Chain A
């Protein structure tokens, strides 16, 4: 190739030299001296090397000048757009918003729904779950006996694995940490097709009762805790006090479906133990080749029928009557209804994108009105249809490409926000990132819309010379086209109204939620979880002593007002209840399930609770006086209208260890700002007597009220904790203000999402109205000019143009209003303190949308009013 190029350069050189020679000869013939003739010929020729270079360049793009003319087209298109910055920006922003939003949702759909689950042949995996009579609210797992039963006797499954997940204390040279441990069968790896990065998986010999303590780390935990050190294999770590050998590390990206585990250890189920009806195992199985899920279900039904006969004690016929083991495809279990929601969302976005596109097409039409003459002149000058089409398409694609690039950036930011917000109920969210498929999707949108945009004005360039004649201007769009435009604008206005009304409802809910007094003072409070190991803190006294030492040390830190330890934290976790009885002479009573908390002295002070009565201190606590705090609604329920102080209650046992109420907590909303005030009892850590008492509170949260920066405070607390007991892990560090914000996340998220879509729709309707009115006004230029020449005032021209759109906008508002009333019900579960059909909100939304639409109509009308009457002469 180089030689050929070299020869061509050589030939060009010879050719040019020949020319100069010929010229020199001619000059010589005219009487110049040979020397002078030669110099003159060279001068006339110009710089030979430059000409040679230009000649050579002609060959660089064989078969013509495609690249060259493409470059020209791009440059021309770019200049064209720069000449009209306002309209170009408007088109670009519209398309970028449309493409960005659609790409973001597509990315979600792709990662969550389209992409197979990250397991080998994942479409062959099934999830087993149990339906238990009386507990249908949630699906249950399998019991150990059931697992063995199904595993041994099934005829449709090729493999079966089980696991359950729980938090444990991991302690090694690097200190303690609370991690999630999966206790798994040796068979789980094969069923899921998990690969290992290092070492090996749990062997069947290890997964037996009393087998060796071994553990496999997840890749993520291995990186986080050991920085990817391969020497971790063979090392001993402590899991809940059990010395365990690390035998392997799983491949990157592997995690359990629906659960997340840092470390895996053998579950060591014992087939010989007596069957117990405890459904705690998650079971995943692989279907035999050719088997369908219905056959698996039939197989399981058959096996369910054998349970009573095989395990009469654990599965009596009364239990099995309402019991069923169900097989779901793993995909179905993981994705569930999210699939439909996401497709619907994508569909809605596609409609928004389509409206955006039609808007841009309208704007493009307004813009290409101005270019029509140019195109027509070119056509008259002989530019081929193909050539004009190519330039027009280049223009369209240039515009949409820029828009797609901006849109992709928007989508990327949007997806990150979505993932960070942990959007409620979307599974596999951690897997969601912008991938090449998203880029390809955006590029496809850009290409299709770009070509469509480019072809759009061509229809108008067809009537070659008509634009050269002035009557080309007055040909109005057909009635049909106009009707479509009006319908579109009306629809946009209606859509914007529905979305804006929804967004406003959510904004109000958010504001009302923010205004709710939670009953505690979140500012300046830091909270974190800790976990004590059962072997070193066996008794209530051990646990209480540790908490007293810890809070005393923390309170000694500079800036700390108060510290306390509690089993529950308002708005973070306030769950569980215990049967509670009131001391009432001679009256049998049904225990009532009441929320109970165990807390050290200082709990009320650290949280800033409002309490009427006396609060415990460590002296009274350790003296086991048997006092308890009660919340106001519960006190009112038990002793309406009376003073509860001194009354006695007990939980955990039907007396006689009754606790006397020493204080009443006012207005505490611990289960959610949108919920009622809680009915709870706040017990101490140390019970009056150990018999009939609550379990030792080892999984607890610490609350610290201080005036110092949380970052430096937590460092200081870690130091104190390490000097007290280096093996106690802490986690979930956050401020109570963050906890409050997080408790509102579902409303915040919905508000943000719907707010963004509403703004999008409003912007689109603004652009839509603007585009259509501009177009129509432009079409009527000569008419307007004539009116002005005949003495019409600018004001009446404005009215003429705006009036044309008022009916459309009004229709859109009416339809949108009706739609809002019909659809905002769907938001009811997310609303707080405002009715779904709140008329003032709807009215406000109507005013906002109408005002926006009228402004959008006003701008082109004002421009039309500036048309000079002189144009009438040209028309």
Chain B
């Protein structure tokens, strides 16, 4: 696991969080993350779509094709029940970890 897992885990968490409030397509997810982080986190498209498909394959997300604002066919993602509980667990874990890292940093 190691470094890779941590990164994946983080991106996954961000994606799950972005979808917590409703159904979005890939472009909207990327924009949402960027906006909520006040432009600190820019999501690479090359990482975003594989993550979306991986989460969908794991059953954490569901998708359907719908019509976008500009009247185009787009793939919309939403959280499944499993996705919602994973979001809770992962947020908890992240909070604990960041607190621990913060403590370590304070100490050093």
Chain A interfacial positions (CB closer than 8 Å to B): 11-12, 14-16, 18-19, 21-23, 25, 44-47, 50-51, 54-59, 61-65, 69, 72, 76, 378, 380-383, 387, 391
Contact = CB atoms under 8 A, between A and B. Distances in A.
B1 A19 contact: no
A315 B1 CA distance: 86
Nearest to A64: B58
Interface in B16-36: 25-27, 30
Nearest to A381: B97
Given A69-B1, A382-B96, A19 B58 contact: no
A51 B74 contact: no
A72 B70 contact: no
B73 A14 contact: yes
A382 B49 CA distance: 25
A58 B46 contact: no
Contacts of B75: 11, 14-15, 18
Contact of B54 (A22, A65, A391): A65
Identify the interface centre among A47, A54, A63, A391: most chain B CB within 10 Å of its CB. A54
A64 B57 contact: yes
Given A15-B26, A18-B75, A65-B54, A380 B49 contact: no
10 contacts: A18-B25, A18-B73, A46-B46, A57-B50, A58-B50, A58-B53, A61-B57, A63-B57, A65-B54, A382-B96
B57 A59 contact: yes
A380 B45 contact: no
Contacts of A62: 57
Nearest to B55: A58
Contact of A15 (B44, B49, B58): B49
Given A15-B75, A381-B97, A22 B53 contact: no
A14 B57 CA distance: 18
Interface string B3-16: 01010000000000
B72 interface: yes
A23 B26 CA distance: 11
Contact of A25 (B6, B30, B49, B70): B70
Interface of B: 1-2, 4, 6, 25-27, 30, 44-46, 49-50, 52-54, 56-59, 65, 68, 70, 72-75, 93, 96-97, 100
A285 B2 CA distance: 70
Contacts of B56: 58
Contacts of B44: 46
B77 to A, nearest CB: 10
Contacts of B4: 72
Contacts of A59: 53, 57
Given A15-B26, A21-B72, A25-B70, A65 B97 contact: no
A720 B50 CA distance: 84
Nearest to A62: B57
A55 B74 contact: no
Interface of chain A: mostly helix, strand, loop or mixed = helix
Contact of A51 (B46, B65, B97): B46
Contacts of A58: 50, 53-54, 56-57
A14 to B, nearest CB: 7
A634 to B, nearest CB: 85
B62 to A, nearest CB: 14
B58 A12 contact: no
Given A54-B50, A380-B97, 18 more contacts: A14-B73, A15-B75, A18-B25, A18-B72, A19-B49, A44-B45, A58-B50, A58-B53, A58-B54, A59-B57, A61-B57, A62-B57, A63-B59, A64-B57, A64-B58, A65-B58, A383-B1, A387-B1
Chain B: interface secondary structure? helix
Contact of B27 (A11, A23, A61, A383): A23
A21 to B, nearest CB: 7
A22 B45 contact: no
A55 B61 CA distance: 14
Contact of A46 (B45, B52, B58): B45
B57 A19 contact: no
Contacts of A44: 45
Nearest to A57: B50
Nearest to B8: A65
Q: Which of B6, B46, B100 has the largest number of chain A CB atoms within 10 A? A: B46
A18 B49 contact: no
B93 A19 contact: no
A50 B56 CA distance: 19
B53 A55 contact: yes
B14 to A, nearest CB: 16
B8 to A, nearest CB: 9
A101 B53 CA distance: 50
B10 to A, nearest CB: 12
Contact of A55 (B49, B65, B68, B100): B49
Contacts of A23: 27
Contacts of B100: 380
Nearest to B58: A64
A62 B56 CA distance: 10
Given A15-B75, A18-B75, A55 B1 contact: no
Contact of B49 (A47, A51, A61): A51
A351 to B, nearest CB: 39
Given A63-B57, A65-B54, A72-B1, A19 B27 contact: yes
B72 to A, nearest CB: 6
